[in-house]
Amino acid sequence: MGSFGSVYKGVLEDGGAIIAIKVFNLVRRGAYKSFTAECEALKNIRHRNLVKVLSVRSGSDYSSNDFKALIYEFMVNGSLEESLHPAGTNGEINDRQRSLTFYQRLNIAIDVAMALEYLHHHCHTPTVHCDLKPSNVLLGDDMIGHVGDFGLAKFLPIVCA
């Protein structure tokens, strides 16, 4: 994730579903605003090419510090950035990572375009992502692109002509 926290892989007790847990580092300046923006953006939007939020957690940790987290559907193929630049830390190719074919790249670009078209033209409140980059495009097991990380999203006023 970026400067506002970390993402962890988890398993739900009921059924064993794999999830991604985005825990916000609330000590970092802007983390509360990022959490609020992401919740606001994702509360009323549903699209095949957007990350699916399963739950939101807000409360206190074991030391009575504020705790905020978002729980997402896990994307088994990681981010587009990892697929575009598949070198490991030592320069070797990770087994999980692979080069994308031209058609996979084209389909992912179409997936991202469909998500943006939905956000800009079909949401109740038009939404601008403001942080679209390969690390914020996640790939499911079917290599379908899902736009994520709405921490910098902006909501546009509806202008009636």
Q: Which residues are catalytic?
A: 131
Contact 85, 6 (CB under 8 A): no
Beta bridge partners, 127, equal: 155
**Spatial CA neighbour of 139 closest among 114, 102, 107, 92:** 107
